[in-house]
């Protein structure tokens, strides 16, 4: 059975958005649909409470699913309708894995999975370890399959430094993922550049691309601490 490539809109190179030569492919969804911009308006607003914030993170995950679906493998299958007629439509070619970065990605994963209920869910938890002059990422928990037998979609609302996402990409690739795609709500220029330097063939989908990080590695203008705002608990 032939696997169909179903991505009618090609990813633009990062150079389309940033005035630097890059090899990464990035799709900024906020420039393509007003719905994404509306979701961003709610999420960026400092007065949005955590129940509403969480709800819109979930919606963002659903929007990303619509766009990222074109990166995944599909096969044409024939079904019979209640009228006894035959129709050919698409179905996933095999398992699809959603790799969520524990924290604010939980409602994002839920939103994506609402569009692809058969998707399998894997988790990675990481923390920052700050040392003089450098920032390291330590993965302290993961629930991943021993081997991925299909594509993996790494989901993290805020692609800030890119280091946590890069580690999740590495883990998925090392365990055999046939393809890895990254989905975020807001990505920073620095984070995308970092991912590009390591995995230039990994597509990145984001609702917005923001210009910089502050001294605490928060994306600016960003939306603040996505984990605190989505979960309603400050550590």
Domains of the chain, CATH where assigned: 28-212 (3.40.50.2020)
Q: Which uninterrupted H or E stretch holds 92?
A: strand 86-92
152: pLDDT strictly greater than 50: yes
135: pLDDT strictly greater than 70: yes
Q: Mean pLDDT across the stretch 175-179?
A: 96
Instruction: Of 193, 188, 134, 125, give the one whose Cα is nearest residue 158.
Output: 188
The single-letter DSSP state of residue 38 is: H
CA distances from 49 to 52, 102, 113, 233 (A): 6, 20, 24, 12
Per-residue model confidence as pLDDT tens digits over 83-94: 999 999 999 999
Contacts of 87 (CB under 8 A, 6+ apart): 78, 79, 80, 81
pLDDT at site 24: 53
Report whether 192 contacts 171 (CB < 8 A).
no
pLDDT at site 22: 42
* Residue 179: Cβ within 10 Å count: 18
- For residues 95 and 177, what is the distance between their CA atoms, to the nearest angstrom? 10
> Which range among 4-18, 100-114, 162-176, 186-200 shows the weakest confidence by mean pLDDT?
4-18
Tell me what the pLDDT averaged over the chain comes to: 89
* Residue 146: Cβ within 10 Å count: 6
pLDDT at site 232: 87
């Amino acid at each position: 059975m032939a696997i169909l490539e179903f991505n009618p809109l090609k990813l633009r190179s990062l150079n389309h958005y940033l005035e630097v030569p890059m090899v990464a492919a990035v799709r900024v969804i906020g420039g393509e649909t007003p719905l994404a911009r509306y979701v961003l308006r709610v999420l960026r607003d400092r007065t949005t409470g955590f129940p509403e914030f969480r709800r819109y993170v979930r919606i963002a995950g659903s929007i990303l699913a619509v766009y990222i679906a074109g990166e995944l493998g599909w096969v044409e299958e024939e079904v019979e309708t209640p009228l006894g007629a035959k129709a050919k439509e698409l179905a996933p070619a095999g398992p699809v894995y959603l790799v969520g970065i524990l924290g604010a990605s939980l409602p994002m994963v839920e939103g994506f999975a609402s569009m692809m209920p058969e998707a399998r869910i894997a988790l990675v938890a990481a923390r920052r370890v700050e040392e003089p002059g450098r920032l390291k990422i330590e993965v302290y928990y993961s629930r991943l399959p021993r081997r991925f037998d299909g594509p993996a979609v790494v989901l993290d609302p805020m692609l800030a430094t890119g280091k946590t996402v890069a580690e999740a990409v590495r883990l998925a690739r090392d365990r055999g993922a046939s393809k890895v795609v990254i989905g975020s709500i807001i990505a920073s220029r620095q984070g995308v550049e970092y991912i590009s330097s390591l995995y230039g063939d990994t597509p990145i989908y984001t609702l917005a691309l923001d210009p910089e990080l502050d001294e605490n590695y928060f994306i600016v203008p960003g939306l603040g601490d996505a984990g605190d705002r989505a979960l309603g608990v400050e550590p």
